[in-house]
Structure 1
Amino acid sequence: MVTPTPLDRIRVGSAPDSWGVWFPDDPRQVPWERFLDEVAEAGYEWIELGPYGYLPTDPARLRDEVARRNLKVSAGTVFTGMHRGPSVWADTWAHVSQVAALTQAMGARHLVVIPSFWRDDKTAEILEPPELTAEQWAHLTKGMERLGHEVRETYGLDIVVHPHADTHIDTEEHVERFLDSTDAELVNLCLDTGHYAYCGGDSVKLVETYGERIGYLHLKQVDPDILAEVVAHGVPFGPAVQRGVMCEPPSGVPELGPVLEAAQKLGVELFAIVEQDMYPCEPDKPLPIAVRTRRFLRSCGA
């Protein structure tokens, strides 16, 4: 058996998403206590906060719950619509401040920023055109830079923007345009391997080309056969997930080993958080997948 090269700069974790958690409160989701118990049982030591309000928002209580299970927090997550211009800043900052304060209190250093959806992920209703105007691109890039500056000044966190299916930062073209239009001192990227593949991108190529902008990783795979059906029929992201488009590694694409190896070569410490979208799912489904996924990542050296 070939011993994998140790990926000693990659810090592996998982997230509520891998337990089918998309919302702060939903009867189809596992209780937060079970998530924490099972993510620790699966062999992970790092977690994300997930949707704000799913885990306890009192820092002292959350610190206790996390520490009792020998877990640590790597990041919080926010959704934003910066392309809509300065008028959304006040509401955006109110939301971001809540999440950033808890993230900071948990000792984490990153805030994952997801752009708002252009179509509803449940109903498929088209909410906005999928392509931004030049003015909207300017709002998006300047707004993210402002957010990066304010989050760092106020909370000492770095923002990492997450390209995501059914948002305006999705395809290789859009991701590269976003990176080329933003200041690396203020804004970097959370590369989600599954979402990038879902939208036709090559994660290894992106890491090798824009390595200095990769500040964080989400590990995920897509089932290419289901993805082909999704693309052919214009299925929105939510129903695509219900069809199983995001699948357990190593059965999908991209291969995660080469992505992790490319990330290791960057010479910086990076979080690599497993996020297998499974909303909604049976409560007993996530743990066995999480155990197998952790074992697989160890076989890659992570």
Structure 2
Amino acid sequence: MPHDLDRIRVGSAPDSWGVWFPDDPRQVPWERFLDEVAEAGYAWIELGPYGYLPTDPARLTEEVARRGLKVSAGTVFTGLHRGPAVWDDTWAHVSQVAALTQAMGARHLVVIPSFWRDDRTAEILEPSELTAEQWGHLARGMERLGRQVKETYGLDIVVHPHADTHIDTEAHVARFLDATDSGSVGLCLDTGHYAYCGGDSVRLIETYGERIGYLHLKQVDPAVLAEVVARGLPFGPAVAGGVFQEPPHGVPELGPVLEAAQKLGVDLFAIVEQDMYPCEPDKPLPIAERTRRFLRSCGA
């Protein structure tokens, strides 16, 4: 019998409908995403890439409300390891997304580090390992971002370890958390990305539980992942090759992850994010419905 995971609030995101970009002819229209995410049984959504959903707060409020939906977070990409020189451009972008996120009544901003290699072409954009100086820039920059986002927009930032970024493996995640202030910087644990990079989600929750402010739920296919690692494939082709698997058929097991999160004793969003870009337009809804049923069977 599954435990009642009463501290876990389940949602989904445009990502689970194959949406990576504000505008792309291979993506489903935003109206269809909103219709189908509600039909699949989710109450919470993320904004996805800024500009995919309407950016006028009044219009977006009307569109989500009439479908019985609410917004849990917005998302930004940042390259703060590059130092103070990038702050002004970073803040201009973050402010745009944070303002809409705040207007939608959400409380979180998911912050993803920039990619060190192009996720489509595999072009190496910069070294995969940061220097000590760059780690310092990253830690201080994220703390500054966390403070300023909180002061200006009332949002908590949650940094998202992500494949092909500098915050990916267990060692890198631990180094980042140890270098940053828990009062300014939380963590968005994405179970799929963490497994993709060799991490153990349950162990991370048990070790750094006070830093976990948000969850993304996804699983990887171990066989596909092994090929990705062996061939050194970048993230985009790995996704197109099916590295992320519909639960409960991949790893990590989500039941134990959710139970570990429940034991933290705090309310947490757990947003399903099954990367599928690009995908056929009729593919996401049945997967989303099955995933919602599976999560209910876990008690969420």
Tell me by how many angstroms 1:24 deviates.
0.1
Q: How does 1:106-255 map to 2 (within 5 A)?
A: 106-255=104-253
Question: Which amino acid in the other structure matches residue 238 of structure 2?
Answer: A
Tell me by how many angstroms 1:141 deviates.
0.3
Residue deviations 1:210-248, cap 9 Å, x none?
A: 000000000000000000000001000000000000110
Residue deviations 1:116-173, cap 9 Å, x none?
A: 0000000000000000000000000000000000000000000000000000000000
Residue deviations 1:29-56, cap 9 Å, x none?
A: 0000000000000000000000000000
Q: Where does residue 50 of structure 1 map in the other structure?
A: 48
Flag structure 2 segments of 5+ consecutive residues without an equivalent.
Answer: none
Which whole-Å CA distance do the structure 2 matches of 1:275 and 1:93 have between them?
Answer: 26
Q: TM-score, normalised by structure 1?
A: 0.99
Runs of 4+ in structure 1 deviating by more than 4 angstroms, as ranges, are none
Question: Which amino acid in the other structure matches residue 67 of structure 2?
Answer: R
Question: Which amino acid in the other structure matches residue 7 of structure 1?
Answer: L
Q: TM-score, normalised by structure 2?
A: 1.00
Helix, strand or coil at the partner of 2:24: coil
Which whole-Å CA distance do the structure 1 matches of 2:226 and 2:51 have between them?
Answer: 35
Which whole-Å CA distance do the structure 1 matches of 2:4 and 2:28 have between them?
Answer: 34
Q: Where does residue 283 of structure 1 map in the other structure?
A: 281
Residue deviations 1:250-291, cap 9 Å, x none?
A: 000000000000000000000000000000000000000000
Which whole-Å CA distance do the structure 1 matches of 2:257 and 2:3 have between them?
Answer: 13
Flag structure 1 segments of 5+ consecutive residues without an equivalent.
Answer: none
Percentage of pairs with the same residue: 87
Tell me by how many angstroms 1:4 deviates.
1.1
Which whole-Å CA distance do the structure 2 matches of 1:55 and 1:70 have between them?
Answer: 16
Question: Which amino acid in the other structure matches residue 45 of structure 1?
Answer: A
Q: Where does residue 298 of structure 1 map in the other structure?
A: 296
Q: Root-mean-square deviation (CA), in Å?
A: 0.3
Which whole-Å CA distance do the structure 2 matches of 1:71 and 1:234 have between them?
Answer: 39
